[in-house]
Amino acid sequence: MTRKMIKDHPILNFEHEKKKVVKFTFDGREMEGFEGEPIAAALHSNGVQVYRITPKHERTRGFFCAIGKCSSCFMIVDGVPNVRTCVTALEAGMKVETQTGMGILKPEK
Amino acid sequence: MDSKKVDVAVIGGGVHGCSTAYHLAQKGFRTALFERDYISSGSSGRSAAGLRYQFGTEVNILLAQYNMKCLKTLGEDLNYPGDLEYDPAGYLWIAYSETQLEQLEKNVRLQNELGTTGSRVLNVREIQEVAPFLNTDGMLGASFNQEDGHINPHTLCFAYADAAKALGVEIHKKTSVTGIITKNGRVAGIHTDKGDWEADAVVCCAGAWSVEVGRWLDLEIPITPERHQIMITEPVERMKHPMTLCLDDGSYWKQCPNGTFMLGVGKEEVKDTSYYASWDYLDSATERILPKMPILSGIRVVRQWTGPYANTPDFQAIVGPTPAEGFYIDCGWSGHGLQFAPSVGRIMAEFVNGEKPFIDVSMFRYSRFEEGELFFEPACI
Amino acid sequence: MKTTEILVVGGGPAGLSAAIEAASLGCDVVLMDSDLKLGGQLIKQTHKFFGSREEFAGTRGFEIGNLLFDEVEKYKKEGKLEIFSNTTVTGYYKEDGIVSYTIGEETYDLIKPQRIVMATGAQEKRIAFPNNDLPGVYGAGAVQTLMNVYGVAPGEKVLMIGAGNIGLIVSYQLMQAGVKVAGIVEAMPRIGGYWVHAAKIRRLGVPIYLQHTITEALGDKVIEGAVIQEIDNTFKLVGEPMKIDCDTICMAIGLTPTCELLWSAGCEMKFVPQLCGYVARRDAMMRTSHPDIWVAGDAAGIEEASAAMVEGRIAGLAAAASLKPEGCQMLKEKSTDYLKRLENLRAGETGAKIRCGLEQVCCECWG
């Protein structure tokens, strides 16, 4: 699936073609994004809107404040739960997963 | 609006003040409660809110039995629509030395003798069974009671305050008591920043701030406030883990029903009622706790706060009448007071009503300090 | 432990301006910002600023941001300014003035600054309606970040809640980005934002529903529509519910100052509706009741970026001058000009609300 990016803009030139494209996975599916953009932005442009399922009422949650304050976009990134994906930069090979509930602590190896 | 005349004025909107007001109203006293800030804003709401049968003196064990029985069904009994988050996840006291273990054994023996059935002594293997994520290095044994646990300290206060209000108690929030009125050598009311109230009796439930209240009547209440700090983490899915207290360094931690871990550690602290936290607390707590509970290594601390203990010379409460006629005190709980609100709220109402308390609390009397009759509670931190 | 003369918390228009001024007086400055990119709201703003030449009239927000970045770059090269991005200041410890921060999700550390400028900005308000938590309900700032900073469209058809300046401007920006705007809903009987913005929107055929409110968002897992309804002067629902076809609901309800650190520091705070929330009391040089702490920008009261930049300049300069006696003359000279500029920005009918708010929190000096 190709990303939905804004290309023709009367004022802004995003220079998407100059950015470094990296591959990452979302719930096991391979996707592409730009290195350094927020994980949440990369997901949104790939058509993913649901980032987590709340613990108590099992509500879907996604992007909301974009400034790392509201907890709406928490996801599991490389095994770590409760990562604020709106202010965490995308890196090549990241394993991004929908967070269901509160995240589980794993014993240190 | 308000009558400005009541039978009893209660100072302090913490859990003891709210419970006392509720019990007074049940006995038919016209009661007004005065709180400088909001209900649960002081030490109650800032408490770690542990609940336990496990004490080491007879009076505390008997009171605890009553407390624990009440707390189990308190929400329903008070018709509180919210959630008290009562959570019997167990409470583990861990000994790292022979002396500590002997004391724990003694405590459990006394608890069992007085009818507390759930308390027992665990060996290291048994500790691992009840708390599988603990690193038991250096542990010699523990005392444990599966029915001990946790409650939400805010909703606990609100439940009592709402129940008191439903019985007609006036709750005056954002109202500072500034003095006590006396007439003919006995208490006759209080001054506040919103006017005076006439009252035949005054009950002081002002925790670490009681010292100032006592001075208005020339009473020296021997309380030393001491700052205590707590941290809380992000929520994670519930794990099998009881409230854990380590006697080697006073570190403790537990997982609350909402998944957050509450962490604390015993540490030399400033002796005042300030609410300012210190930056080195995170290091102190993680240094001590992470080796004992390695699974918490990656968890994020999201908040830190403080609340003062009201420490007395023997770390036991001061409860009952005072030399000032009509002035009663219920304070000095030295860090374990929240859970005593059910029993002692009732006892304060009994005192004011001239009854004999349903459990003998004479060892908590105000005069014990000048009589030299201190009695230490071995099970407190 | 790391130390610095001046710590600026927040790298938006106010924080950047404060850092530049403080560095210009020769202070060592550390600036921390929680976002991945510096610039705060400036880098999302594609509209041209109003006002005079000093306030960059006719220049677009993100271009003003670039001008500030050039100045920042200069002081970075001189070694006077150190920038920490993606760094959240998490605590101020009043006993010894130590500040804690986290970089990204993993690194935690402490810094001891001599002076602090709090330029922490603002956060979005929300309103209550069923399903307001579904993905597709986004804050206006978030929508701007997605589309103007990262070039990602928030959706295909957006319903805007709020016809203040932000609601109007973001609606226009959405259309520039090729996104349809289904309508703008405003509870008040008139448009709150500038008339020129509203006129542009209307010309493009976007309906503005005055005296309407959103009563429900529709959708199971994500937004699939919205229901709006007319309200009367007492905000009671009247008329018939109307279904709006949209996949995104943008909330431009307003902002409230981000002031947690000011509370932690024990600064005297006051609730001022005209400034949109709790704000710190301050003197004309933006110093709070805490002698080591200054405040600037939206954190000091919600206003436009032009005012935030001037406030930042004053705060940065004053904080620096308190450490460099030789800077006092500079402060005197420059602040007269800065204060005059603020006065101009807040003049007239549009500034009345701000002026009324400031009267409640400004004091002559702390003495």
Residue position matching structure tokens 């995240």:
A103
Expressed as residue numbers, the domain containing A83 is 21-100
Q: Which of A31-35, B176-180, C193-197 has the lowest mean pLDDT?
A: C193-197
Chain A residues with CB under 8 Å of C123 CB are 65, 67, 69
> pLDDT band at residue A107, thresholds of 50, 70 and 90?
confident
* Whether residue B144 sits in one domain with residue B232: yes
Residue A73 has which token pair? Answer: 């976009």
The number of angstroms, rounded, from the C-alpha of B25 to the middle of its chain's C-alpha atoms is 22
How is chain A split among helix, strand and coil, in percent rounded to 5? Answer: 10, 30, 60
**Across C182-206, average pLDDT:** 92
Q: Is B239 on the interface with A (CB under 8 A)?
A: yes
Asked whether B158 and B40 are in contact (CB, 8 A), the reply is yes
The pLDDT of residue A1 is 55
Average pLDDT of chain C is 95
Give the closest-approach CA distance of A17 to chain B in angstroms. Answer: 37
**Across B161-185, average pLDDT:** 97
Residue A84 lies in a domain: yes
Where among B286, B309, B332 does a domain terminate? B309
Beta bridge partners of B198: B5, B189
Q: Is C137 on the interface with A (CB under 8 A)?
A: yes
Percent of residues, chain B, with pLDDT higher than 90: 97
DSSP three-state, residue C323: coil
Q: Is C100 on the interface with B (CB under 8 A)?
A: yes
Q: Is B99 on the interface with A (CB under 8 A)?
A: no
Q: Is C90 on the interface with A (CB under 8 A)?
A: no
- The CATH number given to whatever domain includes residue B102 is 3.30.9.10
Residue B79 lies in a domain: no
**Across C335-360, average pLDDT:** 95
**Across C62-87, average pLDDT:** 96
The answer to whether the CB atoms of B276 and C96 lie below 8 A apart is no
The pLDDT of residue C54 is 84
**Could you tell me which chains touch chain A, where touching means 3 or more CB pairs under 8 A?**
B, C
Expressed as residue numbers, the domain containing B259 is 88-148+225-309
Asked whether C193 and C184 are in contact (CB, 8 A), the reply is no
Residue position matching structure tokens 């108590």:
A56
Residue A31 lies in a domain: yes
CA quadruple C311, C312, C317, C319: dihedral sign? positive
The pLDDT of residue C319 is 97
Q: Which of A5-9, B91-95, B99-103, B179-183 has the lowest mean pLDDT?
A: A5-9
**Per-residue exposure over C166-202, b if at least 16 CB sit within 10 Å of its own CB, e if not:** bbbbbbbbbbbbebebbbbbbbeeebbbeeebbebbe
Beta bridge partners of B195: B192, B193
Looking at the partner chain, which of B276, B282, B304 has a beta carbon nearest the beta carbon of C94? B276
Residue position matching structure tokens 């009541």:
B6
Residue A1 lies in a domain: no
Chain C residues with CB under 8 Å of B276 CB are 93-95, 266
Beta bridge partners of B329: B204, B320
Using the predicted structure, report yes or no on whether residue B3 has a pLDDT greater than 60. Answer: no
Looking at the partner chain, which of A81, A107, A108 has a beta carbon nearest the beta carbon of B236? A81
Q: Is A103 on the interface with B (CB under 8 A)?
A: yes
Chain C residues with CB under 8 Å of A7 CB are 151
The answer to whether the CB atoms of B239 and A105 lie below 8 A apart is yes
The pLDDT of residue C57 is 86
* Whether residue B139 sits in one domain with residue B236: yes
Residue A108 lies in a domain: no
- The CATH number given to whatever domain includes residue A50 is 3.10.20.440
Q: Looking at chain A, which residue has its C-alpha nearest residue C179?
A: A6
Using the predicted structure, report yes or no on whether residue C210 has a pLDDT greater than 90. Answer: yes
Q: How does strand C208-210 pair with strand C212-218? A: unpaired
List, as ranges, residues 11-40 from A with C-beta within 8 Å of C: 11-12, 14, 16, 36-38
The pLDDT of residue B242 is 97
The pLDDT of residue B152 is 97
Question: How many structural domains comprise chain A?
Answer: 1
Residue A9 lies in a domain: no
The answer to whether the CB atoms of B294 and A107 lie below 8 A apart is yes
* Whether residue B242 sits in one domain with residue B119: yes
Residue A58 lies in a domain: yes
Q: B66 CB contacts (<8 Å, ≥6 apart)?
A: B342, B343, B359
Q: What angle do CA C157, C158, C164 make, to 5 degrees?
A: 150
* Whether residue B299 sits in one domain with residue B242: yes
Residue A28 lies in a domain: yes
Looking at the partner chain, which of B234, B294, B295 has a beta carbon nearest the beta carbon of A82? B234
The pLDDT of residue A7 is 85
How is chain B split among helix, strand and coil, in percent rounded to 5? Answer: 30, 25, 45
Per-residue pLDDT tens digits for C295-329: 999 999 999 999 999 999 999 999 999 999 888 89
Looking at the partner chain, which of B235, B236, B295 has a beta carbon nearest the beta carbon of A107? B295
Percent of residues, chain A, with pLDDT higher than 70: 97
- The CATH number given to whatever domain includes residue B197 is 3.50.50.60
Q: Is B299 on the interface with A (CB under 8 A)?
A: yes
| DSSP letter (8 states) at residue C145 | I
Main-chain dihedrals φ then ψ at residue C245, nearest 5 degrees: -85, 115
Question: How many structural domains comprise chain B?
Answer: 2
**Across B62-87, average pLDDT:** 97
Q: What is the pTM of this model?
A: 0.93
Average pLDDT of chain B is 96
The answer to whether the CB atoms of B276 and C105 lie below 8 A apart is no
The pLDDT of residue A30 is 97
Residue C253 has which token pair? Answer: 């309800």
Per-residue pLDDT tens digits for A78-90: 999 999 999 999 9
Which one of 3.40.50.2020, 3.20.20.70, 2.115.10.20, 3.50.50.60 gives the CATH number of domain C126-251?
A: 3.50.50.60
**Across C81-87, average pLDDT:** 98
Distance in angstroms (rounded) separating the CA atoms of residues C271 and C280? 9
The answer to whether the CB atoms of C150 and A37 lie below 8 A apart is yes
Distance in angstroms (rounded) separating the CA atoms of residues C363 and C350? 23
Domain boundaries, chain C: 2-123+255-363, 126-251
Per-residue pLDDT tens digits for B342-375: 999 999 999 999 999 999 999 999 999 999 999 9
B124 sits in which H/E element: helix B124-130
Beta bridge partners of C283: C363
Percent of residues, chain B, with pLDDT higher than 70: 99
Tell me which fold the domain C2-123+255-363 belongs to.
FAD/NAD(P)-binding domain (3.50.50)
Asked whether C263 and C253 are in contact (CB, 8 A), the reply is no
Give the closest-approach CA distance of C81 to chain B in angstroms. Answer: 25
The pLDDT of residue B1 is 43
Q: Maximum distance among all alpha carbons in chain B?
A: 65
Per-residue pLDDT tens digits for C41-66: 999 999 888 878 888 888 999 999 99
Q: C327 CB contacts (<8 Å, ≥6 apart)?
A: C25, C26, C317, C320, C321
The pLDDT of residue C128 is 95
**Across C129-154, average pLDDT:** 96
Distance in angstroms (rounded) separating the CA atoms of residues C140 and C127? 13
Where among B262, B280, B309 does a domain terminate? B309
- B79 or C52, higher pLDDT: B79
* Whether residue B304 sits in one domain with residue B229: yes
**Per-residue exposure over C27-38, b if at least 16 CB sit within 10 Å of its own CB, e if not:** bbbbbbbbbbbb
Q: Is A101 on the interface with B (CB under 8 A)?
A: yes
Per-residue pLDDT tens digits for C87-136: 999 999 999 999 999 999 889 999 999 999 999 999 999 999 999 999 99
Main-chain dihedrals φ then ψ at residue C273, nearest 5 degrees: -55, -35
Distance in angstroms (rounded) separating the CA atoms of residues C329 and C318? 11
This complex has an ipTM of 0.95
The answer to whether the CB atoms of A67 and C137 lie below 8 A apart is no
* Whether residue B320 sits in one domain with residue B218: yes
**Across B226-231, average pLDDT:** 96
Residue position matching structure tokens 């004992």:
B292
Using the predicted structure, report yes or no on whether residue B2 has a pLDDT greater than 70. Answer: no
Distance in angstroms (rounded) separating the CA atoms of residues C319 and C4? 13
